[in-house]
Structure formats: structure tokens, C-alpha cells
Amino acid sequence: MNQKMKKNLLTTISIALLAITAGLSSCNDFLSVVPKGQKIPTTLADFDALLRDEYGNQRTNVTQAILLLNDKFESASNLSYYQLYSANYNWDENADRIAFNHSDEGTYYNGYAAISTSNLIIEHAAEATEASEADKAQLIAQAKILRATNYFVLANYYADTYEEVSAASKLSVPLITSADIDAPYVQVSIKELYDFMLKDIEEAIPNLRPAGATILHANLGAAYALSARIHLQMGHFDKALSAANEALKQNDKLYDWTQFYTQYKTQIEQVNVYTNAPSPMGYDYVENYNFRHGVSIYRSNESNIRTDRATRFEPGDAKFASRWKIRTVGADTYYKSITNGFFNYGGLTTTEVYLIKAECLARQGDVTGAMNILNTVRKKRILPTVYADLTAATKQDAIRLINRTKGNELILSITPFADRRRLNKEEDYAQTLSKTENGKNLSLSPASHMWTMPFPQGAIKNHGNGSIQQNVSK
């Protein structure tokens, strides 16, 4: 193995361990933190093991986005201890979140760790032994989907949402395409980053297969689903619809949550019992195109939900009722998570693609078609005793109903946050969030600077071979 290859691998491992080595942030350059005794990959199986590393590369931490949306219940003790949590959760527009963001670095470093692994595979898997050319090309393609997935999260977290009129002039996040130690990089424009993600997907598709080795490996459906997500975010509705249709050709299954609720109804409704049923949203969830964890692979429960957030689920929503139950502990009342297992927060699913297709149809004026798609999803969610088809008189009404369901379906993932950011840019769909907290009426404007998260201080101070400019004032 050549020296450059060794340096590449060590960089990948170093970045993956940044969260663990946070105490070393006083070093001049975080990329100089190099662990010892690591194996150098030579076979395709070695490279594959890097990609499927669940803790390092297959998780998506979007904690602050979920807090800003108020899509989870946060304890008073956490809000008191973590200033950044409190600022986002309570929509404190005067808070200096840049100063507070000195430890909440998981989104940034987890994302770039997976990108570094992807870069290593893309650069060197073609040299791997014990594999066919087709298998090597497939793994490289899967690494490109992983890279694009992580760039989508980073772009929709640390930079403004995509708008055609300003995408070429506003900065996004650092674009790193090499796993070399001290590889130079540029903080590119929003347009450049979106173009790069789409290029990765376009190059990957010819080498992907209908199924990967595991559900952690992107397949053809995952590539089309990611393309649909990115084009929707860009407002390219025709292209998003085309990609959604291609994804649904690969997998169009929907899980029947009404049957799940019926199966576990006695346990779910048992008084004072809050751990009942196994999560069906794990590796073998029929809706999966691919699977990625949320904050951690070791967490076996979902986050708890605020009582006011729970009211935005439809009556009779079996998926909601199967996952959360109201509970009071001391002064706190919230909806407690009641399923155990794994949850696909970072991957792509058929539900998301169905709802992308529905919105695109509505945007084209096919309101009836859009509502038919929406109701196709709802029939697998709303209990038959409550269910009734939803109708819409206008495309605006249809899009609001579609995104209400989508926000509920994909809660605790990056998608509701990304959707709310893009919809806030349109007068018909912009929304002011409001709540009452400790007797105070609070609100968050759709135009607030808080919809863009500040880069962590570690990234700004120890920026490696490039420079990073904050995309938000505070």
C-alpha cells in the first residue's frame, strides 16, 4: 500500500473519532489527531467494512434542527445545562448561538467523517483486490450516495436553503473531495454544492443494483429517492417527480401501521406501561431504500414528544399511537416513546418518496392525483374506524395537507426541517411557529436567522487547509 493511501485511511479514522477526542481540540489542527494500530484496507471487503461502519458513518445527528422545530420534548435540566439547546428550543433570537456552539459538534463531524470515508472509497476502491470490476464500481457508487446524503444534511443545517435567485451567490459548506491529510478545500456556493450532489448521484446510478449487500448499502432505489429529495428542495418539481417515479419502480411498499396497532393494541393501551412493542422501523422495514441511524446506534428508544406537537397528528393515527403514549413525571407531561429497537431516521423510505410525488403532482396542478397519493399513505396509518379520504380544492390546500402528513411521518429526521425551510420562502406556505412556555408566549418567524445553524467553534478555529465563514450572524 502506498504512503498516500495510508495517509488517506488515517485521515478517515481520525475524523470519525473527532467526537471522542474533543478534549484534544486545543491542537493546532484537528486533522493531526492520528490513532495508532489501524489496518490498511486492501481487499474490497476491507473498504466495504469502512462504509458499513454504523457508528462512524451510518448515523445522522440533527439534534438542533429537531429542537428548533420543537418536534421533541426537552427536559428543563438539559435546557438549563446546554445553552444552545435552550436558545433553539425557546427561539431566543437574541442568543449568541455561535458562542454557545462549543460542544454540539456532532452534526458537523459525523457528516464529514462519513464524507471522508466516502472519499477514501471513491479514490481507492478501484485498486482493491479480491473483487470484480462491477463490485468495485458498485461500492464506489454507494460511497457517492453516502457522500451526497451527508452533504444534503450539512447544506440544510449550516447554510441557507436553496433559492434559485441567490444559490450562486450565497456560501454553503466546505466541499472536501479527498481523504488526504490536510487536503485543501473550498467553502463553495449553495448552487455548487447542490450541483455536486446531483453529479454524484448521476455518476452512481449506472453502477448500482436493485439491492445492496445490506440495507446500509445504497441501492438503485435509494439513489433515485435521494435525487427526488434534492430536486424537491431546489424547486425542480418535474425532475423530482421523475426521480420519485423511478424510486417507486424499485420499491413501492408501505408498512401497515393499522395492523401493527391492532396486533399490539392491548400492550399499547395498558395503563402505566411505557415499553411495549418492537420497532418495525429497523433494518428490515419494508419501506426502506436504505437505512441510517439518528444520533446514535445505541439508543433503543425514540425521543419523547411535546404535548402540543402531538396535537398535530391526525385523529386515529395508528403510527403515532404505536410509538408514543402520554405520561406525567413530576411537573412534566409529555408523550413517552413506547417502542424499542432501531429507527431509520437518516435513510430514505417509500413514504418520503410517495409524499414527494404527491407534492410534485400538486405543483403541476394535478390536485386529484396528489390527494390520491396522499390518501394511499394515510390508509396505512389512520385506523379504519376513523379514516376518511382527504380532499383539497386548490393546489395550495393540497400541498399544506401533504406536508402536514410528511412532517408527522418523518418526524425526528432532517426532512421536516429542510421542508419547513424551503416552504418558508413561499408566501403561500410560510408559517410562524408559536407556543406557550412557562407562561410566556413565544414565536419563531419564517424569516428568522435561526433557521440556519452556526458552524461549531471547533470547525472555525481548527479549520484545516481551508477557511470557513459563518453563514449566520448569531
φ and ψ at 336, to 5 degrees?
Answer: -85, 135
- From 282, 218, 285, select the one nearest 247 (Cα to Cα): 218
The three grid cell numbers given for residue 159, joined into one nine-digit string: 447554510
pLDDT digit of tens for each residue in the chain (474 aa)? 334 433 444 444 443 333 323 332 333 333 333 344 456 889 999 999 999 999 999 999 999 999 999 999 999 999 999 999 999 999 999 999 999 988 778 999 999 999 999 999 999 999 999 999 999 999 999 999 999 999 999 999 999 999 999 999 999 999 999 999 888 999 999 999 999 999 999 999 999 999 999 999 999 999 999 999 999 999 999 999 999 999 999 999 999 999 999 999 999 999 988 987 899 999 999 999 999 999 989 889 999 999 999 999 999 999 999 999 999 999 899 999 999 999 999 999 999 999 999 999 999 999 999 999 999 999 999 999 999 999 999 999 999 999 999 999 999 999 999 999 999 999 999 999 999 998 999 999 999 999 999 999 999 988 889 999 999 999
- From 334, 394, 329, 331, select the one nearest 365 (Cα to Cα): 394
152 three-state secondary structure: helix
What does the alpha-carbon distance between residue 317 and residue 314 come to, in Å, rounded to a whole number?
A: 6
Please give the single-letter amino acid code of residue 399.
I
Which pLDDT score, from 0 to 100, does residue 39 have? 65
433 DSSP 8-state letter: E
What does the alpha-carbon distance between residue 343 and residue 360 come to, in Å, rounded to a whole number?
A: 27
Contact yes or no for 455/106 (Cβ under 8 A)? no
What does the alpha-carbon distance between residue 275 and residue 268 come to, in Å, rounded to a whole number?
A: 8
Burial zone of 201 (CB within 10 Å; 0-12 exposed, 13-18 middle, 19+ buried): buried
The neighbouring-strand residues paired with 334 are 327
Q: Which helix (H) or strand (E) holds 171?
A: strand 171-175
Please give the single-letter amino acid code of residue 286.
V
Outline which parts of the chain fall under CATH 1.25.40: 3-216+451-461
What does the alpha-carbon distance between residue 313 and residue 405 come to, in Å, rounded to a whole number?
A: 8
Which pLDDT score, from 0 to 100, does residue 308 have? 97
Cell 403541476 -> residue: 364
Domain spanning 3-216+451-461 has what CATH number?
1.25.40
Residues 6+ apart with CB under 8 A from 451: 68, 160, 161, 420, 421, 424
- From 84, 107, 70, select the one nearest 407 (Cα to Cα): 70
- From 452, 413, 451, 415, select the one nearest 431 (Cα to Cα): 451
Which pLDDT score, from 0 to 100, does residue 275 have? 80
Q: Which helix (H) or strand (E) holds 333?
A: strand 332-337
- From 232, 212, 230, select the one nearest 149 (Cα to Cα): 230
- From 283, 209, 284, 282, select the one nearest 250 (Cα to Cα): 209
